[in-house]
Homo-oligomer: A and B are copies of this chain.
């Protein structure tokens, strides 16, 4: 039992885990009290929460504990920067079976630590409980630095649509794992992005400074997520397939999977979990090269508030955790 979290005991686990987390200037009071105190310099706090459940959001045989730690943090801080905010604090709820190897918990912690460092945020608190299903609950906080939050409802006809980060690689990585062809040459970037998505953190506040009218992170799939912008803003977004240029690893993954080359664009349009940022900008915005223009915002009637690709509705539109009948 001594090499499981059950053998160590709850308070010992918390002490061992929190001792690994560096503090930042945003941490006014860190872990160890009833609650943490985090800086909110402009009088507002951005807050978002996500759950990761073993077997649904990760598999211990497909991702290392460290990967899961990275991903858990990345998908939450991606939501923070998608508001145009700077990551500040993170809280971790860790529900695990008593027979979870201590090494898994510790490696997870190291992934959390390193992804926090990449994003610029700090772990400020958490909770550890027993649970038959390994479940990780993350809450991320952020600082808008005096700017208005970039919401989903501000896209206007004539705006350009652009993304920063990766699109389709994570979904292709998952497809490779599912097909048992994960080791194929030239596709490693897909696996990497599936296991440890790399949101372009600085691009979120940057987009806000550049005047982004709407922004979100791509978690459920580009078309599905931009669909939220369409409905909230009362617009249609048309993506230009000629501007949807797959990265080499995605092109290669599609080949290894035995699918037509055209499927690479489908992965970009429907695949989620890369946690790219997608945003709309005024037509004249001067976008840095890591913002890839992919489409245009159009006026739309009430029944046309959706994403199209070259004018047509794409087939697959994403992922629903409780698919309805």
Q: Are B124 and A12 in contact (CB under 8 A)?
A: no
Q: Which residues of B contact A324 (CB under 8 A)?
A: 7-9, 12
20 other A-B residue contacts (CB within 8 Å) besides A34-B83, A128-B321: A13-B322, A33-B216, A34-B82, A35-B48, A35-B80, A35-B142, A37-B45, A38-B46, A47-B91, A49-B92, A51-B93, A51-B94, A53-B129, A56-B130, A57-B129, A93-B93, A95-B135, A98-B322, A130-B322, A133-B135
- The B-contacting residues of A in range 5-37, CB under 8 angstroms, are 5-13, 28-29, 32-37
A50 on the B face (CB < 8 A): yes
A238 on the B face (CB < 8 A): no
If A12-B324, A48-B91 touch, does A29 touch B135 (CB 8 Å cutoff)?
no
A-B residue pairs in contact (CB < 8 Å), sample of 22: A28-B149, A34-B216, A35-B46, A35-B47, A35-B140, A35-B142, A36-B47, A36-B48, A37-B44, A40-B43, A45-B89, A49-B137, A50-B93, A51-B129, A52-B129, A53-B130, A55-B132, A56-B130, A95-B133, A128-B322, A135-B137, A139-B139
A41 on the B face (CB < 8 A): yes
A158 on the B face (CB < 8 A): no
If A35-B80, A132-B132, A322-B9 touch, does A49 touch B141 (CB 8 Å cutoff)?
no
Q: Which residues of B contact A286 (CB under 8 A)?
A: none
A217 on the B face (CB < 8 A): yes
Cα separation A39 to B43 with both chains bound (whole Å) = 6
A292 on the B face (CB < 8 A): no
A65 on the B face (CB < 8 A): no
Chain B proximity of A64: nearest CB distance (Å): 21
Q: Are B127 and A131 in contact (CB under 8 A)?
A: no
If A44-B39, A142-B35 touch, does A56 touch B129 (CB 8 Å cutoff)?
yes
Closest to A219 in B: B34
A2 on the B face (CB < 8 A): yes
Q: Are A53 and B95 in contact (CB under 8 A)?
A: yes
3 interchain residue pairs of minimum CB distance: A9-B324, A137-B137, A40-B40
Q: Are B49 and A320 in contact (CB under 8 A)?
A: no
If A40-B43, A133-B133 touch, does A51 touch B2 (CB 8 Å cutoff)?
no
- The B-contacting residues of A in range 73-129, CB under 8 angstroms, are 78-80, 82-83, 85, 89, 91-95, 98, 124-129
